[in-house]
Structure 1
């Protein structure tokens, strides 16, 4: 397999690691299963390894690319291969709602730069009512945290907040050699599917974020101590949660129940 980056030097500040393993690329596209007419957006297309396959299926798609040089190369690379809408922009600040159509929710895919993956996922969740699903290549430890269950070492703020809004499916492990240059970490592919109706609706989502952040801020602390500025013994008792437990054992549903209880006596 050639390590030529087609004249482009991977930029460290953009966290660029280009996917080049054709078998892995084909498997990701198969799992994503694009269908013509769907509104697909790829984040960070890079040299177009995934884009090539996606565009062949779809005929038309959008890409969001921060690197000016790469964004300028894409129209040349894909000339005559379909309609590629290129948005040269920072995905962390991009308004994805502008690409959504009422009849076609967004399907978002990308080999995400690992240095921005967590803030980018939180940004994308703000558009979750416009999104059908999201399929991402991420650092394996981030995928483990997204998919983690209560009581496991990987379970934390990221898992709770993403699982509140989405179903999380761990899809595929990807070795460093599938990239050029190879990253120093293991990678994995995950699918996030926003719930059509939230299984545990929260009355005050900013408060939920505050409660979860406080509970995991110092993992060794009991809930009684970690949340003492927010919740009383009476609050814990009212929702049947033992305040002597640690935050890592509470389910998403329990966090929502506690938050809804706290919200009921927050001055409006």
Structure 2
């Protein structure tokens, strides 16, 4: 039985054997790993992971896909299926050695909120390998100063080392998406180069800084800190947020909290 990809689930099933093998090699599953695959679909990546590990956790929302996934993976190992929305899935529900390795061909329509959801559970994660829209990978790995650099760039790079591995053409999927894709590796830092006093405060400050990209820091962060405080950090308040490094944002967040007596805004 052929399954028709559903637009509301953002389904684009990977079918190119070369790309599948290349992605599995990049993940490099090893004995003892606890892997969690998000959005396994019809099992293109799942089969190769099961063959190497013998056990795999998958998070799949589409009930209709699950019988086909089970059939595709039959006899390859222990497939633990969590029929849930990945946007609300708690990694603590996975019983096994920690930390976890998270992989997947992520649905394009939820990739950004899903990445933020995973950042909230970053202490549970050893690494992540995702097949994403190329534009999203550009944002994950972007340096300061360009159009691709924004909130997602800052927050991912604060928590992780982000490495673009290889690009994937639309023809590798069924149905083909209208955009190019890329595989990215995200490895959580053992400790950030500069630690945020309150990561939640940092997240809010970065969110508000990029809410209107044309605003200067003086205007974008007016609720957080006065221009004099920004200047005290040797940052020009007339600069735009996309010109600041991750370290600059952490210094701003920590200074705001120090000024407020460590009480979040």
User: Per-residue deviation at 1:214?
Assistant: 1.9
Deviations 1:206-231 (A, max 9, x none): 22122212221221221111112221
The match for 2:100 among 94, 101, 106 is 106
Counterparts of 1:113-132 in structure 2, within 5 Å, are: 113-132=107-126
The match for 1:56 among 51, 55, 61 is 51
Does residue 203 of the first structure (1) align with residue 200 of the second (2)?
no
Deviations 1:86-110 (A, max 9, x none): 1111100111122164x43111110
The match for 1:233 among 227, 246, 262 is 227
Does residue 140 of the first structure (1) align with residue 134 of the second (2)?
yes
Counterparts of 1:206-225 in structure 2, within 5 Å, are: 206-225=200-219
Deviations 1:132-190 (A, max 9, x none): 00000111000000100001111000100111101100111000000000001111111
**Equivalents in 1 of 2:25, 2:134: separation in Å?**
20
Does residue 13 of the first structure (1) align with residue 11 of the second (2)?
no
Unaligned segments of structure 1, at least 5 residues: 1-5
User: Scaled by the length of structure 1, what TM-score is found?
Assistant: 0.94
Does residue 89 of the first structure (1) align with residue 84 of the second (2)?
yes
**Equivalents in 1 of 2:203, 2:168: separation in Å?**
31
**Equivalents in 1 of 2:213, 2:72: separation in Å?**
48
**Equivalents in 2 of 1:217, 1:74: separation in Å?**
40
The match for 1:164 among 146, 158, 164 is 158
The match for 2:253 among 240, 259, 262 is 259
Contact 2:205 2:221 in 1 (8 A): yes
User: Per-residue deviation at 1:264?
Assistant: 0.9
Contact 2:47 2:72 in 1 (8 A): no
Describe the SS at the equivalent of 1:169: strand
The match for 1:173 among 167, 175, 178 is 167
The residue that corresponds to 2:180 in the other structure is 186
User: Per-residue deviation at 1:234?
Assistant: 2.2
User: Per-residue deviation at 1:205?
Assistant: 1.7
Paired residues in the alignment total 262
Unaligned segments of structure 2, at least 5 residues: none
Does residue 46 of the first structure (1) align with residue 22 of the second (2)?
no
Contact 1:137 1:190 in 2 (8 A): yes
Describe the SS at the equivalent of 1:86: strand
Does residue 151 of the first structure (1) align with residue 145 of the second (2)?
yes
The residue that corresponds to 1:22 in the other structure is 17
Q: CA RMSD in A?
A: 1.2
User: Scaled by the length of structure 2, what TM-score is found?
Assistant: 0.95
**Equivalents in 2 of 1:100, 1:116: separation in Å?**
25
**Equivalents in 2 of 1:265, 1:151: separation in Å?**
28
